[in-house]
Structure 1
Amino acid sequence: MANPLTTTEPATPNKALLRRPTVLRLLIVALLAEIGYAVLNLSTMTIYLRDDRHFGEATVGWVVVSFLLVEALFKSPMGHLADRFGPKMFMLLGPAMSAVTAVLSLVVPRTGGAPFEVFLFILLRAIDGLGAAMLWPAAFLRMNDAVADDERQQGMSLMNLCYMLGIAVAFPLGGAANDIATQILQRHGMGPIRWAALILASSLFAAVAIAVWRLVPSGKPKHAHVEEVATNEVGLADFLKSMRQIPSYLLLATVTFAGIGFPMVIFKLFPVDQFGFSETQIGFLILPGAAVLAACSVPMSKFGEKIGRVKAVHLGLGLCTIGMAAIGSGMFLPLLRQPWLLALGGIPVGIGFLLAIPAWMASVSDIDPQRRGTNIGAVMTAQGLGAIVGAPIGSAMYEKLQPLGRQLGLTEAFGRYSPFVGCAVCLLIGWLISLRILKPRSEAV
């Protein structure tokens, strides 16, 4: 009898996806990995660098960009290599690398944000980016192999569910780790602790590597023998070929994720600065909404399948634009600078995300079965490139426009809300592009 840990379980369409051992194992790995990366990059790193290492917001933005840049540059070639050699090795090595870099972040010499200290953090985050680039295309490729063709969008939605749950859990976990460590160590005369969540992130990445080793099937994907005919295509060649094959998806990915990049760096800094929330408060305020959206992931995917992938992208981007515009209105209207409006605007943003992203990814995986991993990697590369453009601009706006807000009589909130306005503008442009180039009569673009 074949060892279930070293062979790929065939898809059985008559069995619910969550009840299939291979799919469930992949989802466990994806959830742990997303919690780890969200704790590291979203919950911890920005607070740690600004409040513990005393970096400015603009400098923090460039550190985050190093992660995004390397992840974007290497996702397409890593997807190609996962196509050729099998996903398991890449799913194991990527998190293992990040387990080490999270701990190394604690021993970087403290020089008050001098260039060498900044360089070391850029280097460490670049290694994290390479680890993420190894993990995610391989994980999506393995999911593609674990489900039937007509179940692929549901499979992508389950991966999306892990993304949402990971974010939902990461903020309270990371915030609680820092706040609990602060309460304990303040008894010994130490100030606020911002590094405890780095140890948590390292532990999570180690758990991911162990889970991959024990739970993920070995072997190449079912279509790997076809992909091997193009072994000379790596790196830029992969991306350029995907640009010719799926240009509309790459364009949409770049524009919309440029918008997502605007508030990426300041996402946790904003409620601390604007509303005076603690890290734990932020986490437990995010948790309910993110958990509800995660629960809606599969139903929204089925709704997207019902209305069609192109309409799902149109509707999803439109909802994201409306929600982000509502949040960004606080830049100009002081009466709308309320925590409840931030939560209210997040509802259409979350629903729109759930509609648009699975439709994108499922369509990309259907275009060319021989290049699924490479095309998925190319779309993720375009998303990363977009975020690379938006993240440093948004963090610089956050820092530099606060003094302008004081001069205009709009207070520092003028600058703090500005990244959300930039995000809304990019999402609006992306929505208009989708209406122009994605037509219901042609689902595959």
Structure 2
Amino acid sequence: MAIIPTRLKHFLHEYRALMILGSAALFAELAYAILNLSAMPMYVDKGLHEFSHYGLIFGTFLATEAVSRPAMGALGDRIGRKPLMVAAPAITAITSYITILVGGPLVVPILVGLRALDGLGSSALWMNAFASIGDIVGEKHRSAAMSVLNVTYMGGMALGFLIGGAADDYFGTLHASFYVASGLFVMAFLVMLIFFPAGKHHHAGIHAEQLTEEMHELAAVAEPTARVQNKLEKKLRGFGKWLAGIADSFRQVPDMVVMAIVTFLGMGMLTPIVKLYGFDHLGLTETQFGLAVAPIAAGMGIFAVPLGHLGDRFGKTTAVCWGLLGSSIAMWILALFRSLYLAAGAGVLIGLGFTVAFPAWNALVISSTDPRRRGEVLGAVGFAQGIAAMAGTLIGPHIYTSDALSFPKLGIINYNVPFWISAILLSAGTVICFTWVCNRRAVGVAGEHITFFQRRVVIAGAALGLLILCGWIGWRYTMPLPPDRVAWAWVQQLARGKIDKAMNYSVREAPGWNGEQEARKWSTTFRDWVYHRQASYVVHPPEYQGIDNATARVRFNFPSGRPAQSETVLVCRPNHRGDWKVCGVRQE
């Protein structure tokens, strides 16, 4: 009976630092998810009515995080990980609270500045948290250890919607989730400050000789002017070496950098819009949206550690490839189908796919570099990820609110175009992984279980899928526009005040219906709702009454607690098997 306590004591001793790091990371990522994914989009859109600037606000966070990642990783290599991981949550605990206090004409620049500080804190925390895995866990169990941080990262993102949304709904204010986020950052700060080991990582001594040499050089400088000049020259040389080091980091792992750019560009497009999509176009409350996303967290929580071991058991490259493949398939489900249940299932699959791929991804980068430069190289890859995510963040809200890339014939309209683009980019990342990455990291490498036949099957499947997609696009363009898409296009053009374009989707004369007269009347109403009262609208799937008649309900959601307004658009086919046209509106 004494064996169990002894083994437990040994386990707790060996992995104490990892468990502390995981606990602090859970609090921090949950807070970051509440702040960036749940609280900020709703607050900027519904509270400040500044969603047109949200790409800039959130993009600043991602840009600052990406640009500072290499520097934060290199700084952690030099001074130790803990000081940076303690300071990071403390900074954002303060900025989270300040966010809800600012207002006035300078609110957007102030929010940009606050998010820049958050980006510095996030890069300091995560670069050194992931780099710490290489310091406190051996090579054999490194992928599994990475999964501990990965589950906190992905699980926090999923649970952030539920906790942040529930707080807002319970207290009836958009400020509540900011208080929750600030409190969680304080908890992460206390855990790191009190419990995480204070000693530097075991590579800290590498810089001791260099530091001693620098101190002797400084002591040898006699004249103050010469000392200032010497220090300036040294800083410039150090900056030049840092830039050269970043470029060298890219050259060490070019395949991982390219794959990171493609993958995170696709995922970044969805980050700022996913909650608004659920709220505006699926009709979900904040709490309901959180409950819909929660299965992702449950799936990752249950399977994180077992799936994290897959990289150690079957090979890190193998785990990255199959994890990305599963995620890309799930993203196509989100793009193609309008089902809440399929969306929840696809979300779980995406979460599990990244739970397999992401820890193996980081472990693969770490294993491919010199121990003295782990933080720097991991930071370089993180830099590429952050820049791509930032670009996606800037692009996503623009596409979401614009009809420039809408294709009604395909059933693709502005608010689901980002899902299509994300699916295409994830598929491209998967192809890169099964080709370029495998050629560099798996061929002839012991422990990798991905075969040449499996790679050929996946590539052939991707080519076949592209041919099927092209054929489907051609077929859809030969078919009439579905009734709900006709209703959507008609409402959209009227809300924009384009009567002539709206008439392309309406019959001009019908019993009790004068198309142009009704279009002018409803254009005035829709423009007032959408542009003056900040309403968003969603068109529900059609209900058919016979072969040539259907209805599509259009619901307008208003901010500030005003009840939603619904209108039923009557759609008919004047010519049997011809195009659908709007032929009436029934007020509810």
Indicate the TM-score class for this superposition, using the shorter chain for normalisation. 0.7 to 0.9
Query: Which residue of the partner structure matches residue 169 of structure 1?
Result: 159
Amino acid at match of 2:197: P
**Is residue 13–residue 147 contact of structure 1 (8 Å, CA) maintained in 2?**
no
Q: Distance in 2 between matches of 1:229 and 1:254?
A: 37
For the pair 1:65 / 2:64, whether they are aligned, the reply is no
Aligned-pair distance for 1:91? Answer: 0.5
Q: Does residue 89 of the first structure (1) align with residue 91 of the second (2)?
A: no
Matched, 1:158 2:148: yes
Q: 1:376 is aligned with what amino acid?
A: L
What TM-score does the superposition give when structure 1 sets the normalisation length?
A: 0.86
Quickly say closer, same or farther: Cα 1:313–1:282, change in 2 above 3 A.
Answer: same
Cα distance in 2, alignment partners of residues 84 and 353 from structure 1 = 31
In the TM superposition, what is the alpha-carbon distance from 1:117 to its structure 2 partner? 2.1
CA contact (8 A) 2:266 2:392 kept: yes
- 2:266 equivalent in structure 1: 259
Residues 224 and 390 of structure 1: CA distance in aligned 2, closer, same or farther (over 3 Å): same
Report the alpha carbon displacement of residue 219 of structure 1 after superposing the two structures with TM. Answer: 2.3
Aligned to 2:73: 79
Corresponding residue to 2:199 among 204, 219, 227: 219
The more displaced of 420-429 and 289-298 is 289-298
Are residues 1:198 and 2:178 paired?
Answer: yes
Q: Tell me, yes or no, if the aligned pair for 2:73 and 2:128 is still in contact at 8 Å.
A: yes
Contact persistence 1:364–1:376 (CA under 8 A) = yes
1:361 counterpart = 2:385: no
Per-residue displacement from partner, 1:217-244 (whole Å, max 9, x unpaired)? 1122111222567883675344212112
Q: CA deviation at 1:252?
A: 1.1
Q: Output one character per residue of 1:251-302: Cα deviation in whole Å (capped at 9) or x when no partner.
A: 1111111111011100111110111111111112212332122221111122
Contact 1:64 1:125 in 2 (8 A): yes
Secondary structure of 2:358's aligned partner:
helix
- Please state whether the residue corresponding to 2:402 is helix, strand or coil: helix
CA distance in 1, matches of 2:98, 2:390: 24
Corresponding position: 1:427 with 2:426: yes
* Cα distance in 2 between the residues matched to 1:156 and 1:379: 16
Q: Tell me: CA distance 1:19–1:226, structure 2 relative to 1, closer, same or farther (3 Å).
A: closer
Q: Does 1:344 align with 2:345?
A: yes
Unaligned regions of 5+ residues in structure 2, if any?
1-6, 212-237, 449-588
Inter-partner Cα distance in structure 2 for 1:351 and 1:443? 26
Q: CA deviation at 1:370?
A: 1.3
Give, as a single letter, the amino acid of the residue that structure 1 aligns with 2:107: E
Relative contact order, higher structure (CA 8 A, sep 6+): 1
Change (3 A) 1:409 1:52: farther
Contact 1:262 1:393 in 2 (8 A): yes
The AA in structure 2 aligned to 1:250 is V
- SS of the residue 2:430 aligns to: helix
Over alpha carbons, which structure has the higher Rg?
2
- Alignment CA distance shift 1:205-1:442 (3 Å): farther
Task: Give the partner amino acid of 1:54.
Answer: H
The CA distance in 1 between the partners of 2:13 and 2:358, in whole Å, is: 20
CA RMSD for the aligned pairs? 2.4
Do the aligned residues in 2 keep the contact of 1:13 with 1:151 (CA within 8 Å)? Answer: no
Aligned to 2:225: none
Q: Which has the higher helix share?
A: 1
Structure whose residues are more often strand by fraction: 2
| Displacement after TM superposition at 1:62 (Å) | 1.6
Aligned to 2:257: 250
Contact 2:295 2:344 in 1 (8 A): no
8 Å CA contact 2:133, 2:145 repeated in 1 = yes
Q: How does 1:392-403 map to 2 (within 5 A)?
A: 392-401=394-403
- Pair 1:77–1:141, CA change in 2 (3 A): same
